[in-house]
Amino acid sequence: MKTCLAYLAFDLGAESGRAVLGRLRNDRIELQEIYRFSNGPVRVGDSLYWDVLRLWNEMTRGLSLAVREVGHSLVSLGVDTWGVDFGLLDIHDRLIGNPFHYRDRRTEGMPDSVSKQIPLAKVYQQTGIQPMAINSLYQLLAMAIEDSPQLAAARTFLNMPDLLNFWFSGVKASEYTIATTTQCYCPSNQNWAWDLLRSTEIPPYIFGHIVPPGAELGKIRPGIAEESGSASLNIIAVASHDTQAAIAAIPVETEDYIYLSSGTWSLMGIEVEKPLITEKSRALGFSNEGGYGGKFCLLKNITGLWLLQECRREWASAGWDYTYEDLTHMAASAASFRSFIVPTDAVFLSPGKMTNRIQTYCRSTDQPIPEQPAEFVRCILESLALEYRHCTEQICELTGRTLPVIHVIGGGAKNELLNQFTANASGRRVISGPAEATALGNILVQSITSGELRSLAEARSLSSHSTETHEFTPCDTTLWDQAYERSLHWRN
């Protein structure tokens, strides 16, 4: 393998964005965070938006810093972020307004409202995606219902990584993994869900060409190259959905595992050769999202560490500036199995007043009400572990497989208490790491595109040599079994 090439990953997460350099040296991949910047949504009036122009400015600064660090050995860059959100371009390819953030409340109740015209079972049959109000489909339908002038003027729909790729390269394209999150894509046709879109008021002509993950979009725009000091840099449509980028970096050599991408959202599932779209998978709440290398991911979206992030933000506003390590340490010594929530309940989706929502939930289910931060955190972590068990049992039921290992990747992989709880609750071995899976996967895909790596298998082997993992074995399973049985009483 060559050792001189460098790749730049822009990884935009729920709390921050990062510019990360990756270089292959001595059969290992080395990551270096060059620049970090905030990535919170902006509220104006009653609406929640992406702060996209500031983010673009931060990204171009990150590019300049990367060029300063590695010079012309930087050969490409790729962008990843979460799914569903998008920007709309007009006839002149200019952005129409600020892109909405998926936690904006304008889509509340949209799936039920739309089901009166289009049965949700039909939507699922065409798309393989579980109806959620945050999906691009329902964001677009909300715009259509309110006769949005932005939608009327739109000529191009681009998910957020695709929009940023366009600004870097001048090429408009929809990357496959991020397109499949929209609920506007039909896996059986391997194209946009044209029949579904034509049955709505969403203009089908806004959806453009879909490219596979790892596609070369073109060279960086000359003006950006000049400003940043970069050479003729390639813009790569990596696995632009951050979950799929992370999955590409899982250090495994077997398929006998469940992955858990643990962060703001917990995405839990398995890789499959073809989508599983049945009435049972729909009833259990599973989606089929496209992955790298032609695979699909049968997965469930679970509200994850968002619960803890919102509580921490609330406490910081009150003057209690706890670190995540502080909170986890406090939770470890708190009373166990006192109260639980169901993280997937819609009441926990929107920002703000998370402690009040948890207390209200516990009060309505006749459980002890958390009061102190340690009690809230213990409730959240135990509830997540129980939710992971529930999802694990459903995956095994759908596939008929045993799947003895849960592999945790992403930021949540660093939470040892949650990892141990997950092992205890599920009765399975839990392997955690890498925590930097998303940026790592982004760079690995670029390395495959450049020819420095030959395949996904080689990339995952390199990941296993380059990253540290930890193993957690189940204990106290009888107590966790009892807690799980308690939690089932109010799950549905």
Q: For residue 439, is it within any domain? A: no
For residues 136 and 84, what is the distance between their CA atoms, to the nearest angstrom?
5
Task: Tell me what the mean pLDDT of segment 78-85 comes to.
Answer: 98
Task: Tell me what the mean pLDDT of segment 194-199 comes to.
Answer: 95
Q: Which two tokens stand for residue 123?
A: 């939507």
Q: Is the pLDDT of residue 137 over 80?
A: yes
When mean pLDDT is compared across 26-30, 72-76, 182-186, 439-443, the lowest value belongs to 26-30
For residues 211 and 394, what is the distance between their CA atoms, to the nearest angstrom?
32
Residue that finishes a domain, picked among 207, 237, 267: 237
The pLDDT score that the predictor gives to residue 1 is 44
Identify the band that residue 492 occupies on the pLDDT scale cut at 50, 70 and 90.
low
Q: How far apart are the first and last CA of the chain?
A: 53
Task: Tell me what the mean pLDDT of segment 330-347 comes to.
Answer: 95
The pLDDT score that the predictor gives to residue 231 is 84
Task: Tell me what the mean pLDDT of segment 301-326 comes to.
Answer: 96
Regarding whether 159 and 59 lie in a shared domain, the answer is yes
Does the annotation count 51 as an active-site position? no
For residues 477 and 483, what is the distance between their CA atoms, to the nearest angstrom?
10
Please give the share of the chain, as a percent, with pLDDT higher than 90. Answer: 93
Closest by CA to 124, choosing from 268, 284, 239, 266, is 284
Q: Read off the amino acid at residue 101.
A: H
Q: For residue 305, is it within any domain? A: yes
Task: Tell me what the mean pLDDT of segment 402-409 comes to.
Answer: 97
How many CB atoms within 10 Å of residue 274? Answer: 12
Q: Which two tokens stand for residue 286?
A: 């599973």
Q: For residue 477, is it within any domain? A: yes
Regarding whether 470 and 386 lie in a shared domain, the answer is yes
pLDDT tens-place string over residues 237-277: 999 999 999 999 999 878 899 999 999 999 999 999 999 99
The pLDDT score that the predictor gives to residue 84 is 98
Regarding whether 259 and 232 lie in a shared domain, the answer is no
HEC-encoded secondary structure of the chain: CCCCCEEEEEEECCCEEEEEEEEEECCEEEEEEEEEEECCCEEECCEEECCHHHHHHHHHHHHHHHHHHHHHHEEEEEEEECCCCEEEECCCCCECCCCECCCCHHHCCHHHHHCCCCCHHHHHHHHCCCCCCCCHHHHHHHHHHCCCHHHHHCCEEEEHHHHHHHHHHCCCCEEHHHHCCCCCEECCCCEECHHHHHCCCCCHHHCCCEECCCEEEEECCHHHHHHHCCCCCEEEECCCEHHHHHHHCCCCCCCCCEEEEECCEEEEEEEECCCCCCHHHHHCCCEEEECHHHCEEEEEEEECCHHHHHHHHHHHHCCCCCCHHHHHHHHHCCCCCCCCCCCCCHHHCCCCCHHHHHHHHHHHCCCCCCCCHHHHHHHHHHHHHHHHHHHHHHHHHHHCCCCCEEEEECHHHHCHHHHHHHHHHHCCEEEECCCCHHHHHHHHHHHHHHCCCCCHHHHHHHHHHHCCCEEECCCCHHHHHHHHHHHHCCCC
When mean pLDDT is compared across 116-120, 125-129, 138-142, the lowest value belongs to 116-120
Q: For residue 442, is it within any domain? A: no
Q: How many residues does the chain have?
A: 492
Q: For residue 175, is it within any domain? A: yes
In the block, tokens 């910047």 appear at 37
Task: Tell me what the mean pLDDT of segment 397-420 comes to.
Answer: 96
Parallel, antiparallel, or unpaired: how do β-strands 234-237 and 74-81 relate? parallel
Closest by CA to 444, choosing from 426, 414, 467, is 467
Q: Read off the amino acid at residue 113.
A: S
Which sign does the torsion angle of CA 261, 449, 166, 67 carry? positive
What are the backbone dihedrals phi and psi of residue 371, each rounded to the nearest 5 degrees, phi first? -125, -40
Catalytic residue among 104, 242, 321, 476: 242
Regarding whether 213 and 255 lie in a shared domain, the answer is no
Q: Read off the amino acid at residue 442.
A: N
Regarding whether 371 and 487 lie in a shared domain, the answer is yes
Residue that finishes a domain, picked among 237, 265, 295: 237
Please give the share of the chain, as a percent, with pLDDT higher than 70. Answer: 99
Residue that finishes a domain, picked among 176, 207, 237: 237
The pLDDT score that the predictor gives to residue 426 is 98
Q: Whole domain around residue 31: which residue ranges?
A: 6-237
Regarding whether 257 and 183 lie in a shared domain, the answer is no
Would you call the peptide bond into 434 cis, given omega within 30 degrees of 0 as the criterion? Answer: yes
Regarding whether 256 and 232 lie in a shared domain, the answer is no
Q: For residue 351, is it within any domain? A: yes
Identify the band that residue 350 occupies on the pLDDT scale cut at 50, 70 and 90.
confident
How many CB atoms within 10 Å of residue 278? Answer: 14
Q: For residue 1, is it within any domain? A: no
Q: For residue 181, is it within any domain? A: yes
Task: Tell me what the mean pLDDT of segment 218-234 comes to.
Answer: 94
Regarding whether 204 and 318 lie in a shared domain, the answer is no
Identify the band that residue 298 occupies on the pLDDT scale cut at 50, 70 and 90.
very high
Q: Which two tokens stand for residue 14?
A: 């729920």
Regarding whether 216 and 270 lie in a shared domain, the answer is no
Spatial contact of 64 and 487, defined as CB atoms under 8 Å apart: no
Regarding whether 272 and 154 lie in a shared domain, the answer is no
Regarding whether 264 and 233 lie in a shared domain, the answer is no
Task: Tell me what the mean pLDDT of segment 318-324 comes to.
Answer: 95
Regarding whether 162 and 256 lie in a shared domain, the answer is no
Give buried/exposed letters for 323-338 (b at 16+ CB in 10 A, else e): eeeebbebbeebeeee
> Residue 306: CA atoms inside 13 Å, Cβ hemisphere, count?
23
The pLDDT score that the predictor gives to residue 232 is 87
Spatial contact of 40 and 21, defined as CB atoms under 8 Å apart: no
Burial of 244 (0-12, 13-18, 19+ CB in 10 A): buried
When divided into structural domains, the chain yields a total of 2
Q: What is the CATH number for 189?
A: 3.30.420.40
Q: Is the pLDDT of residue 324 over 50?
A: yes
pLDDT tens-place string over residues 44-57: 999 999 999 999 99
Cβ contacts of residue 468 below 8 Å, gap of 6+? 433, 434
The pLDDT score that the predictor gives to residue 358 is 98
